[in-house]
Every structure is written in C-alpha cells, then in structure tokens.
Amino acid sequence: MTFSYGCNDFKNKKRAEENLFLLTNGLGGYSSLTLANSLTRNDHALLMGTLKAPDVRINLVSRLDEEIIIGNKTYTLSSQKFVDYTKNMDGEKYLINVAQEYIIQFTYFVEGIEIIKKLILVHGENTVGVKYFISNPLGKEVELKVTPYYQFVERGSLLEPSQKFNINRDKVISNNITLYISTNSTNVSNNNLEFVRDLYYDYDARDGRFAYGCAVKQLTYNYLINSNKEIDLIFSMQPVYQSINDMIEVEYKRQDELFKISGAKSDLAKALVRASDAYIVKRDSIDGLTLIAGYPFFLDWGRDTMYTIEGACITTNRFDESENILQTFVKYLHNGIMPNLFPEGDNPPLYNTVDASLLFIQAVYLQYKQSKDKEFVSRMYPAISSIIENYKNGTDFDIKMDTDGLIMAGSGFMQLTWMDVRYKDILPTPRHGKPVEINAYWYNGLCILVEFGKLLGKDINSYVALIEQVKNSFVTKFYNPDKKCLRDVISGNAYDNQIRCNQIWAVSVPFSPLPDNIAKEVVNCVYEKLYTPYGLRTLEIEDSEFVAEYSGSLEKRDLSYHQGTVWVFPLGSYFRAYLKVNNYSKEAIQVIKKQLSYFKDCLREGCVGQIAEIYDGLFPAISRGCFAQGWSVCEILKIVLEMEIYD
C-alpha cells in the first residue's frame, strides 16, 4: 500500500504539518519529521541515533536546509517555524507529492526543475541516506545547496551554547560522538559555526511542552546540476561503505521477506506487517531483542510487549524473534512477576505489573497454536508454572489469590494494571482489588497450564477444581445483571460499576470464563457504550467522570488518559469477541472486514503507515499520544491476518 499526498495536502503550512513520517532502524533509532520536512516536536529528527539500543537515543541530525538556485533566483525547499516568525521557511509550497511505501519520497517542482528526494534508514545501523534526483530538462543553470543542522544531545534535551563541535566535510565530532558523512559533492562552503537558538516546535507548544529548540550549522554542500543528476548524502555513526542505491535494494528485499514469512496478502495486511516491524528492536543491556511500546515517547514495557508480540512476531510467523523476546522476560522473572521495565546498566528491573505475567502465558499459548512446537512449550513451562504458583500463594505488590479463587492486587499508590496513571498523589483510575481483565487472564492462564500439562505429561489434577471455582466466582462476582455487563473491579467502591472497556477481554481470551449468553451481553454493551471505528472508549460518555478531549497540560492529559479517551488496542479484542459470540458466521466476518477497512484511512492520518496510541473520547478524529504505538498496530494486524483466512 502506497500512501500518497498531493498538492492539496500542502496548501499551507498548517495542513502540511498535520502528518509526519517514521522510519526506524531496529535499534530504537528513527527518522521522523513532518511531511513538510519540518520540526514541530523536540522528538523530531532526520537521524535520531542510539548509543545504547534502544534507550540511549541521540539527536544527531536535526534537519536539513535545502535551497535550489535557478539562474539568479533562490528558492527554499525547506519548511520550518522559528520564534521570530519572519524567519519562517515555507518550502512546502513547492511540494507536489509525498509517497511512502518501502521508503519515503518527496517531489518538489520549481520553474521546470523537478527534485525528488528519497530517505532511507539502514536496518541495524545508525545511518540515514538522503538521495536527490534532479531533473533539469531545459539545461538551466541550477545549484542545490544543503546545510545540515546538528544537535548531538540525548532525545528531549536542549543543546547548550557551551557544547563544542568539530565539523568538517567528512565527519562531525561532538560530545565524544563521531558522525561520518559521505557525499558526491566536491564543493563545500565552510561558514562560521552558528547556533540556531530559536527553532519553534508548534506541536509541543499546543501540547503544553517546552516549545523551543537549538541546533548548530556550519557547512553547506553545493551541487551543480547542468542536466539530470543523482546526489547522495549519507550520515552514519560508522564509516560508510555502501551507496544509497544498495541501501534501498537491501531494504526492499528485507521487507519483501517479512511479507512472505507472514503470509500477508492484502495491501492493508502488508502495510500493518511493515508497521509492526518498527517495534522489534535490539536491547544491548540484555544482548537480545525486545519490543518498543511506542514512538517517540515509550521504550519497552512488559505489559505492552506481551500484547505487541502476538501481532509483531507470532501471527507473522517470526517465531525465533518471539522466543528470543520471551526468553528475555523469563530470564528476569522474579517471584512469578515479569518485569514491567527492563534494567539499564546495573539498575534492577521494575516489576509493577499484575498483567504482564498472565499475558506472557497467553503469548506462549498463541505461539504454540501457530507453530505446533511442543519443545517450545517445554522450554516455557517452568516459567508458566512459577507464575501460577506465585499468584496462587501470594507474591509482591499484594498480588494473591483470594479464598474465592480470584486474583486481587495493589494497594496505596501501586497502580498495576494498564490503567496505571498516577499524577502526584492522585490516582485517576484506582483499580485495587480484583480487576475484571486480570481475573479473565487468570482463568485463561489456569486453563492454558492444564492444556500444556496434558501435552507434556505433567500432573495437573490439582488445578481442575480451581478452574471451576474461578469460573463460578468470576460470573457471580463480576456480572452486573442490571446493566447487562461486567463490573470493572471488585473492591467495594463506587467505581466498581463503571462501564469500561476492560470487560471485553473476558470474552476475547482463548479460554473465557463466561457462559455464551453473558458473553453476548458484554459484547453488545461494549458496542453500544464504548465502540468507535478507531478504538474503544475507556469510559462511557454518560459517566460523570468522562472527559471528551485529551489535550492541554500534562496534568490535564494524565487525568483524562483513561477517563473516556479512545484507545486503539482493545479494538482487536472487541473484534475477536464479536466473532466468537456470533460463531464466526459469514455475516459476522463481513461486519468485521468492513470495520477493519476503516483503518486504511487511519494509516494516512498522523504518522503515515502507523496507528497512534489514542484518540479523543468524544470525537475520535485526531490521533494523540504516541504517534506510532506497537499494540495499536499489532492488535489490528492480528485480526486482519485472521480475516484473510476467510477470503
């Protein structure tokens, strides 16, 4: 699927900066700017490299100033806002097309001169290639001038005037970091080193973040174009030994292999397979693979990983990568709890999660169902058994099984489910007690343990009665006959009966504790109260705590994060639940296929080819939060690939 944007999308700066692109390198590094090639966020960069994958990110090349001189006229192809608005660059008016598929391409047209610019980020390296194709059919006197802006600071940091730079034609050195430069320009203008202190980040300003940036510039690369010409400009943290054409060819082959392995057939499925690959990255501290939760803000989180891995690796048949990631978590399993945040250096992991371990069990089960690899199950079984026993007998963070067989967790300021916001001493969504989805995962995990126990010849008799007890307790305690849905938490507080999206997982899990009639009521309630085409609301609109829009200061955003805000990732479970209660009928399959088709448009909004983290609760038209979120992409990918079976 090619995402193409034309002149109408660049009719003014505001429109041109509504969308952005993301290229990733498998190390946590990335290239991301608006489609106008401008910076509107502190997190934007032409090359955001990694010193230590994936979390020590360095903003190396911030942006490029690009000018084309035709005769005695100079045209700025660059776009950028400055604090002093009289300096604003409006090169977007020369853009006639932006297209992204394997890589991204920009086409400018000025006075009969066509300039095509391609960007490529090399997988496994901190390398960005910029390739220009200049078409000069009339043989005019034309010169292209490119001036890089550098920062050499950690992502989110501000360049200080005291920072030293050594900039020459072939390399830049600053902060003990060397960036190599390769180009076919023989003419370089060496200007005075200039600190550009008034970059203006328009998006950050609207979002209540620090909105000003600083970068340095010095050299300008000059290219004379008498007829038609190809120009290469490469920035890399290692010496450059290949051409951009070679880089592009390798990347095309790499992506085509991902499509082949996954079995994806439709354009939508292939686009989502490509998108999902962005989240599989190397983690140096564990010498293994991990999954980034979202760009540009998040790193790897245990809970997010266990959701994302199903779409990124398991459904797409990337079993080696999947086991590598799962084994990493097994290595850090502590008292039956998977890490929620990995250590860096000598720092210990953080284990503040009740769901990651139970979702790990589900991920193992889904990989077994996909791969039929009994030896894989055997390798994972000890970890699964440890999780179940620790939850049953009691472990850290007040996680323990109550006398009714249900799991309870959390107290005080401990937030252990995915609705985990804490702002200072405020818990907007306290879910201490027995959360509904945790107990659905618990029942599901017990059933999987028994299934695997039978497969491996283990003694699992003691769990059979417990499974029945959990099932009975779940229905008795969570079912709300008045609202025909499930309670969100069992804690004895008023918020127990709020209608939230967490109940959908009690239907969608492989082993559901619900009878068919209640499962159908849950799906109907979620559709009526929470469903939108791009995700599920976290709270029904009629609730007095519902917040219509996710915007404003950090405090305002945090307090509204799970109070009606639409999240994409639960939608995949809603689709699966809908299919289950309708017995995967032809009519149900057609309904879901139609709803999935809306994501073709979703992939065009915000970050091109990606799906964002969240949307506003009342009118979910504008993406918010992380512009590219792993579990959003991968939960939709799972169901898209499943639906292709029925084509």
pLDDT in tens, 134-192: 999 999 999 999 999 999 999 999 999 999 999 999 999 999 999 999 999 879 999 99
Q: How many separate domains does the chain show?
A: 2
Lookup: tokens for 18: 């509504």
Question: What stretch of H or E contains 407?
Answer: strand 407-408
Lookup: tokens for 622: 């504008």
List Cβ neighbours of 355 (8 Å cut-off, separation of 6 or more).
303, 306, 416, 417, 418, 437, 438, 441
The predicted model gives 189-197 an average pLDDT of 95
List Cβ neighbours of 590 (8 Å cut-off, separation of 6 or more).
none
pLDDT of residue 342: 76
Sign, CA dihedral 328-508-1-646, equals positive
CATH of the domain at 589: 1.50.10.10
Residue 162 included in any domain: yes
Sign, CA dihedral 340-341-342-346, equals negative
Residue 203 included in any domain: yes
pLDDT of residue 286: 85
Residue 385 included in any domain: yes
pTM of the shown model = 0.96
Question: What stretch of H or E contains 231?
Answer: strand 228-236
pLDDT in tens, 92-108: 999 999 999 999 999 99
Q: Which of 605, 625, 607, 630 is nearest to 615 (CA)?
A: 625
Residue 187 included in any domain: yes
- 152-175 in b/e form (b: 16+ CB < 10 A) is bbebeeebeeeeebebeeeebebe
Final residue in a domain of this structure, among 196, 230, 251: 251
Residue 384 included in any domain: yes
Cβ count within 10 A of residue 416: 26
The predicted model gives 454-468 an average pLDDT of 96
List the alpha helices (DSSP H) in 536-623. 554-560, 570-581, 586-597, 599-602
DSSP for 343-369, please give it.
Answer: --TTPPPB---SSHHHHHHHHHHHHHH
| Confidence category of residue 348, pLDDT binned at 50, 70, 90 | confident
Residue 257 included in any domain: no
Final residue in a domain of this structure, among 208, 223, 251: 251
Q: Pseudo-torsion of CA 576, 368, 303, 331, nearest 10°? A: 180
Q: Which of 267, 210, 293 is nearest to 612 (CA)?
A: 293
Query: Which residue in the block uniquely carries the two structure tokens 């639960």?
Result: 570
The predicted model gives 514-528 an average pLDDT of 99
What letter does residue 537 receive in the DSSP assignment?
E
> Hey, is 463 helix, strand or coil?
helix
The predicted model gives 26-48 an average pLDDT of 98
pLDDT at 585 over 80: yes
Question: How many residues are there in the chain?
Answer: 647
pLDDT in tens, 407-449: 999 999 898 999 999 988 899 999 999 999 999 999 999 999 9
DSSP for 55-77, please give it.
Answer: TEEEEEEEEEEEEEEETTEEEE-
Whether the CB-CB separation of 511 and 443 falls below 8 Å is answered with yes
CA distance 511 to 498: 25
Whether the CB-CB separation of 221 and 231 falls below 8 Å is answered with no
Both 399 and 343 in one domain: the answer is yes
Both 200 and 345 in one domain: the answer is no
| Confidence category of residue 495, pLDDT binned at 50, 70, 90 | confident
For 96, phi then psi, to 5°, come to -115, -15
CA distance 580 to 592: 12
Both 565 and 473 in one domain: the answer is yes
Both 93 and 146 in one domain: the answer is yes
pLDDT in tens, 200-224: 999 999 888 899 999 999 999 999 9
pLDDT in tens, 220-249: 999 999 889 999 999 999 998 899 999 999
CA distance 557 to 423: 10
CA distance 489 to 397: 17
How confident is the prediction for the chain on average, in pLDDT?
96
CATH of the domain at 23: 2.70.98
Both 325 and 215 in one domain: the answer is no
Lookup: tokens for 479: 């079912």
Both 120 and 27 in one domain: the answer is yes
Query: Which residue in the block uniquely carries the two structure tokens 């686009």?
Result: 271
At CA 281, angle to CA 275 and CA 287, rounded to 5?
165
Both 223 and 301 in one domain: the answer is no
pLDDT at 380 over 70: yes
pLDDT at 30 over 90: yes
Both 372 and 281 in one domain: the answer is yes
Rg value, the chain, Cα: 26
Both 474 and 439 in one domain: the answer is yes
Residue 453 included in any domain: yes
Q: Which domain holds residue 476?
A: 263-644
Both 211 and 297 in one domain: the answer is no
Both 41 and 95 in one domain: the answer is yes
DSSP for 482-534, please give it.
Answer: TTTEE-SEESSSGGGG---GGGGHHHHSSS--S-HHHHHHHHHHHHHHTEETT
Residue 364 included in any domain: yes
> Hey, is 547 helix, strand or coil?
coil
CA distance 605 to 600: 9
pLDDT in tens, 628-645: 999 999 999 999 999 999
Final residue in a domain of this structure, among 251, 273, 298: 251
What letter does residue 93 receive in the DSSP assignment?
G
Q: Which of 508, 361, 367, 381 is nearest to 442 (CA)?
A: 361
pLDDT of residue 637: 99
Both 244 and 289 in one domain: the answer is no
